[in-house]
A and B are shown apart, each in its own frame.
Chain A
Amino acid sequence: MSATLQTWLSAFFTIAIYTLVLYKDNKVFRFAETVMIGITAANGIVLTYHNYIRPVVAVDIIQQGKYLQLIPILIGLLMYTRFVRSIAWVSRIPMGFWVGVGAAYILTRNPGVFISQITASFLALNKLNNVVFVVGVISVVVYFYFTVPIRSAPMKGMTTLGKAFLLVSFGATFASTVMSRISLLLGRLQFLLQDWLRIAGV
């Protein structure tokens, strides 16, 4: 068996997390869960401080005099007014700003992606692959027509075909992802058997 504390801790937490799936909800899992949440939350705070707060305040504002950066900081601080009931409404200003910026970003950035997907579908119908691709694209788009009644035979046919294309692609994606998950499981088993217990050779 391995003698390092790090390996023992890794093995303990690996097994502790697996106990939920392999056994049932239990105190060992709860302990591992709590430790994990605590560590990741603390890690997030430290990273935020080192990657954002310190460079912006100490370097950009204090050293380089970029005082405009105080504006987003002030807007961000308004978020904390939600803890004071009488002025909690003020926190909606940064929230509204945030959602608005997000929506505007989506509106301006997404059409470009669609356009490149449309032009990528311009394939000559001289190969079976291309024919399958084009029929797949069109039938799947038709499947996502929400306000067109699916009563006529062509519409029924196209939506059924679209659904079939979707299911085939889901099957392929599912299978390839399951393969990658199994390789993750093997990685953990390899760690437990080789690095921790040292009962399996490399």
Chain B
Amino acid sequence: MFADGMGVDFLLIAFLMVAVGYALERTKKGLAKWQIRKIPGLDAIEEGIGRATEMDRPVFYLPGSGGFSDPQLLASMAVLSEVAKVTARYDTRLIVCVPMSSVYPVIEEVVRQAYVSEGKAERFRAEDVRWFSDHYFGYAIAIIGLMFKEKVATNIMIGTFAFDALMYAEAANQAGAIQVGGTAATTQIPFFVAACDYALIGEEIYAAAAYLTKDPVRVATIVAEDWAKFLVTGLVVLGVLLQTAGKADGLRNFLNQW
């Protein structure tokens, strides 16, 4: 029925879908009030936008270099939408730099829709959603230059970043910006932790949209993800105990090959 190893993948996806549906249903009926734990990096986003508003300087947003098959880009788009709503509300300039021409129109649309939803369609500036080059170095150097030129007050970087993470963080720091950085790229998280005022570590970027909006549908997905993590923890504990007893092959083969 399934190709090797795809059966368990299917079960995991089915589990997540049922879990999201169940959590959402309970939320809608008022049977459960889920609360996401405090994530300081996300609280800092509004603070950073407030700072930019007071200083009358722009907020800078970088969605990372991922394409549409990268979950970090989808998470970043959700955060960008919320950031754009707040900047629209405060009448603060928002500059978004996109590294891929294929992603550019969608990002522009995300920002435009955020402004429209806040009733500030006329404040949306298409020229502030910018693409420079699909080439990493061209993009990176353009962003660094722009950060200095525009004297950004707040720099928010959420998504996939590579060697360029530290370059942006350092440039924004020199430009005097408060910074929030978040990525699930394990090699780059340390740079955000070291160079940014607030860092979102790995999984936290996926919880960001739910945390910022408190939208029941999004919160339900985080609850379901937590249930999936309980399952993962349970499987690891079971697998370790079986391996210690020398009997983990059956479980390992089932998970890898079924």
Q: List residues of chain A with CB under 8 Å of any chain B CB.
A: 17, 20-21, 25, 29-30, 32-33, 36-37, 39-41, 43-44, 79, 82, 91-92, 95, 98-99, 101-103, 105-112, 114-116, 118-119, 121-126, 134, 137-138, 141-142, 144-150, 166-167, 169-171, 173-174, 177, 181
B55 touches A (CB below 8 Å): no
CB <8 Å contact, B9 and A146: no
CB <8 Å contact, A138 and B190: no
10 contacts between A and B (CB under 8 A): A20-B148, A29-B145, A39-B138, A40-B138, A41-B138, A115-B12, A119-B239, A124-B244, A146-B225, A170-B189
Say how far A161's CB is from chain B's closest CB, in angstroms.
14
Size bin of chain B's contact surface: 35 or more
Say how far A132's CB is from chain B's closest CB, in angstroms.
13
Given that A147-B35, A173-B190 are contacting pairs, would A82 and B226 also be in contact in the complex, using a CB cutoff of 8 Å? no
| 10 smallest beta-carbon distances between A and B, as pairs | A102-B68, A40-B138, A40-B135, A122-B239, A170-B190, A174-B190, A111-B9, A40-B133, A25-B148, A41-B133
A97–B105 Cα distance when bound, in Å, is: 13
CB <8 Å contact, A33 and B141: yes
CB <8 Å contact, A138 and B142: no
Say how far B101's CB is from chain A's closest CB, in angstroms.
8
Interface string of B98-111 (1 = CB under 8 A from A): 00011001100100
The B205-258 residues at the A interface (CB cut-off 8 A) are 207, 222-223, 225-226, 229-230, 232-233, 235-237, 239-240, 242-244, 246, 248, 251-252, 255-256
